[in-house]
């Protein structure tokens, strides 16, 4: 990464100033008011020991911690000396409190099959799975890779690992053989938990065949545990492979959760690879548990009768923290949907909301923009009145997409929380609290408890209101990553080495006078046009605000005069044609001539990671007329690149 040493400011061009107040009846019932947020946030910074002891004290510890934080920059230990178990807190604790009959997981498959697990049933399955893992020789500290569809067994396997102190590494079921093999080797996993197949858009994805192929080059693997999801006729290698249902049937349903140290590793998870080679992010037990517990409860204003749906796959951190750990730690009812959002059509999500009376929906801008592209009719056909809160995560959400989500899905009745965080942060860092703060579409908002953000130059100079710069966090927080698995040097350098004594997130941002932080894109993606540094997010937002544009990705390309020119890749809104000249004029009008695209490429798809994020590094290569280089293994559909490279510039 190269940084100009003199001017690190990112110019702030977008003048988005809509402010949406939370609905009065939501405010009246909210868990936290504005005053409570202010008081608790202050305390979390002034008296972190007291604040975090109170939160951690709501959970079960087999041994109480001696010290809240031990900080030897850049290594933090939280709840030092404490012993606990995340699975115990997510399951046994609720069953012991008489809530065993409450639905924990409500699962729907693409073909419409529905399964339901109460907390007591889920606990029994997790205990059996824990016994089965132990019988296969998995011990505390051993790594277990999970390569599964989004089925309840994925959550059960994660919790079973946590229960015995094994470290899980979930690899998204859509990843290829080589991506799977690389991750197994990096973690040196002993066991792979997979399935015979998964369902996607009506067809079967043969996970076991991929697993078998990967296993040819993964010497650390001893066993495979295979969930029968489809028809159970996958070839099994005797001595190595076992069926999940047989192993669980043979296992007892008594199991005591292991008391592990607060700093015992809980999982390794590889980042999505939007900017480069994925990093194996390591999270540990106590701090991660406390962070996901608190943020799920407060950001989602969680109540006992909510039906909570986070649409993320467990292959991503959002699926870890907000489909499994956070909501189960809070005793919530979680909906899980295995399948594509557009199967059989783009109305599927809204039918799920109606059928299961979903009250909290948490999804990604990429999905919101895809729905928006299809128009208002499909959601309009469903009863969405059960919804009371909407969330967004994964990328900056363009104000236009925010407004659509708020208006069409939320019926202007549901607050929208735009949550900024990363695989590395473990839990939500910046957001508004739904009943406490007004929303500013496009801006994530305020820091969560214990989070102290700042906007800095690369030299560590703190910038004032509205100046764009680098987003950093000034102190450790409980759910932060502890290291990059097997590469502590990379951890030190990438996160704590860029700017002295602060955590460097890799994103560009600005903060307004009210303290709201707006993420302007990744620092790697910032453009330098005639000496002005521009965030990609703002130009993209202006493009998406045009009625003919459904989605946009902006990158720079070398320009002899300006240093860098602006190249925009745009996806037309269904039923519209894009006029390049008109779009240029629109951008000039909306945010200024500086941001006017030099070239516009009308595309039928954008290169995205499998988690749905735009990969601008490849677009930069296409814009510059270069050959595609770098790791393409996390791309959803590599053929998009060839099609784009062959499309003329407008």
Binding site for ligand ATP (CB under 6 A): 271-276, 278, 317, 393-396, 418-420, 422-423, 444, 505-507, 519, 522, 613
Task: Output 89 or 431, the one with its CB closest to ligand ATP.
Answer: 431
Instruction: Give me the least distance between CB of 426 and ligand ATP, in Å please.
Output: 10
CA distances (Å), 234 to each of 136, 373, 509, in order? 20, 39, 49
Q: Which does 134 bind (CB under 5 to 8 A by kind): ligand ATP, Mg ion, none?
A: none
Instruction: Give me the least distance between CB of 321 and ligand ATP, in Å please.
Output: 11
Instruction: Give me the least distance between CB of 444 and ligand ATP, in Å please.
Output: 5
Task: Output 193 or 526, the one with its CB closest to ligand ATP.
Answer: 526
Instruction: Give me the least distance between CB of 279 and Mg ion, in Å please.
Output: 8
Q: At what angle do helices 152-164 and 119-135 cross, to 10 degrees?
A: 60
Does the annotation list 29 as a binding residue? no
Farthest-apart Cα atoms in the chain, separation: 72
Task: Output 263 or 395, the one with its CB closest to Mg ion.
Answer: 395
Q: Which does 395 bind (CB under 5 to 8 A by kind): Mg ion, ligand ATP, none?
A: ligand ATP
How far apart CA 334 and CA 319 sit, in angstroms, is 11
How far apart CA 184 and CA 170 sit, in angstroms, is 10
Q: Which does 520 bind (CB under 5 to 8 A by kind): Mg ion, ligand ATP, none?
A: none
Can you point out the beta strands (E) in 110-228?
A: 114-118, 143-147, 167-170, 191-195, 198-200, 203-205, 223-227
Restricting to residues 239-278, which ones interact with Mg ion according to CB under 5 A? 271
Task: Output 439 or 483, the one with its CB closest to Mg ion.
Answer: 483
Q: Which residues contact 346 (CB under 8 A, 6 or more apart)?
A: 370, 371, 374, 378
Task: Output 194 or 479, the one with its CB closest to Mg ion.
Answer: 479
Using CB atoms within 10 Å of the CB of residue 343, give its burial: 0 to 12 exposed, 13 to 18 middle, 19+ buried: middle
How many residues belong to the site for Mg ion (CB under 5 A)? 1
Does the annotation list 77 as a binding residue? no
Does the annotation list 533 as a binding residue? yes
Does the annotation list 39 as a binding residue? no
Does the annotation list 386 as a binding residue? no
Task: Output 3 or 355, the one with its CB closest to ligand ATP.
Answer: 3
Q: Which does 196 bind (CB under 5 to 8 A by kind): ligand ATP, Mg ion, none?
A: none
Q: Which does 127 bind (CB under 5 to 8 A by kind): Mg ion, ligand ATP, none?
A: none
Residue nearest to Mg ion (CB): 271
How far apart CA 82 and CA 285 sit, in angstroms, is 10
Using CB atoms within 10 Å of the CB of residue 81, give its burial: 0 to 12 exposed, 13 to 18 middle, 19+ buried: middle
Does the annotation list 522 as a binding residue? yes
Task: Output 61 or 477, the one with its CB closest to ligand ATP.
Answer: 477
Sign of torsion, CA 384 387 388 392? negative
Q: Which helix (H) or strand (E) holds 108?
A: strand 103-109
Residues forming a β-bridge with 308: 334, 360
Does the annotation list 206 as a binding residue? no
Phi/psi at 446 (5° precision): -105, 160
Using CB atoms within 10 Å of the CB of residue 580, give its burial: 0 to 12 exposed, 13 to 18 middle, 19+ buried: middle
Does the annotation list 65 as a binding residue? no
Instruction: Give me the least distance between CB of 525 and Mg ion, in Å please.
Output: 12
Does the annotation list 203 as a binding residue? yes
DSSP 8-state class, residue 56: H
Residue list for the binding site = 200-203, 318, 342, 394-396, 418-423, 507, 522, 530, 533, 544, 546, 549
Residue list for the binding site for Mg(2+) = 544, 546, 549
Interaction site with Mg ion (CB under 5 A): 271
Residue list for the binding site for CoA = 200-203, 318, 342, 530
């Amino acid at each position: 990464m190269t940084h100009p040493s003199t001017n690190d400011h990112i110019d702030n061009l977008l003048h988005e100033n809509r402010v949406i107040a939370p609905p009065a009846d939501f405010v009246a019932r909210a868990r936290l008011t504005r005053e409570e947020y202010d008081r608790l946030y202050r305390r979390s910074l002034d008296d972190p020991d007291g604040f975090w002891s109170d939160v951690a004290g709501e959970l079960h510890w087999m041994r109480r911690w001696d010290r809240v934080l031990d900080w030897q920059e850049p290594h933090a230990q939280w709840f030092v000396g404490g012993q606990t178990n995340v699975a115990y807190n997510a399951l046994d604790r609720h069953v012991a409190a008489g809530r065993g009959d409450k639905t924990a997981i409500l699962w729907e498959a693409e073909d419409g099959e529905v399964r339901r697990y109460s907390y007591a049933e889920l606990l029994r399955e997790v205990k059996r799975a824990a016994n089965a893992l132990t019988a296969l020789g998995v011990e505390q500290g051993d790594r277990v890779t999970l390569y599964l569809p989004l089925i309840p067994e994925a959550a059960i396997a994660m919790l079973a690992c946590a229960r015995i102190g094994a470290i899980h590494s979930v690899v998204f079921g859509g990843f290829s053989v080589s991506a799977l093999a690389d991750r197994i080797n990096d973690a040196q996993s002993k066991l792979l938990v997979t399935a015979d197949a998964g369902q996607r858009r009506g067809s079967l994805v043969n996970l076991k065949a991929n697993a078998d192929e990967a296993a040819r080059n993964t010497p650390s693997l001893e066993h495979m545990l295979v969930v029968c999801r489809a028809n159970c006729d996958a070839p099994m290698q005797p001595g190595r492979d076992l069926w999940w249902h047989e192993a669980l049937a043979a296992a007892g349903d008594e199991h005591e959760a292991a008391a592990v140290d607060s700093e015992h590793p809980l999982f390794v998870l590889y980042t999505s690879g939007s900017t480069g080679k994925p990093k194996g992010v390591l999270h540990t037990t106590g701090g991660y548990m406390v962070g996901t517990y608190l943020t799920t409860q407060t950001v989602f204003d969680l109540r006992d009768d909510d039906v909570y749906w986070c649409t993320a796959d467990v292959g991503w951190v959002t699926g870890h923290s907000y489909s499994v750990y956070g909501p189960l730690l809070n005793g919530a009812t979680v909906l899980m949907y295995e399948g594509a959002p557009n199967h059989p059509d783009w109305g599927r999500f809204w039918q799920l909301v109606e059928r299961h009376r979903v009250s909290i929906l948490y999804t990604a801008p990429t999905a919101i923009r895809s729905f928006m592209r299809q128009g208002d009719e499909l959601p309009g056909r469903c009863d969405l009145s059960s919804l009371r809160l909407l969330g967004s995560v994964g990328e900056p959400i363009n104000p236009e997409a925010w407004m659509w989500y708020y208006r069409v899905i939320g019926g202007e009745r549901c607050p929208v929380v735009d949550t900024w965080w990363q695989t590395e942060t473990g839990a939500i860092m910046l957001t508004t609290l739904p009943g406490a703060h007004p929303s500013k579409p496009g801006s994530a908002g305020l820091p969560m408890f214990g989070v102290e953000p700042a906007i800095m130059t690369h030299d560590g100079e703190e910038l004032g209101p509205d100046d764009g710069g680098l987003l950093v966090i000034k102190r450790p927080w409980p759910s932060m990553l502890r290291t990059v698995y097997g590469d502590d040097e990379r951890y030190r350098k990438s996160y704590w080495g860029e700017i002295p004594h602060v955590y460097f997130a890799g994103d560009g941002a600005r903060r307004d006078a009210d303290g709201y932080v707006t993420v302007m894109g990744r620092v790697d993606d910032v453009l330098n046009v005639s000496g002005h540094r521009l965030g990609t997010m703002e130009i993209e937002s202006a493009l998406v605000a045009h009625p003919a544009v459904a989605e946009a990705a902006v990158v720079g390309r070398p320009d002899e005069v300006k240093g860098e020119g602006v190249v925009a890749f745009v996806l037309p809104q269904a039923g519209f044609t894009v006029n390049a000249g008109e779009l240029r004029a629109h951008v000039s009008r909306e945010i200024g001539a500086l941001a006017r695209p030099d070239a516009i490429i009308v595309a039928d798809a954008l290169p995205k990671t499998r988690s749905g994020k735009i990969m601008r590094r490849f677009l930069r290569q296409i814009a510059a007329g270069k050959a595609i280089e770098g790791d393409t293994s996390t791309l959803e559909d590599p053929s998009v690149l060839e099609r784009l490279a062959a499309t003329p510039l407008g």
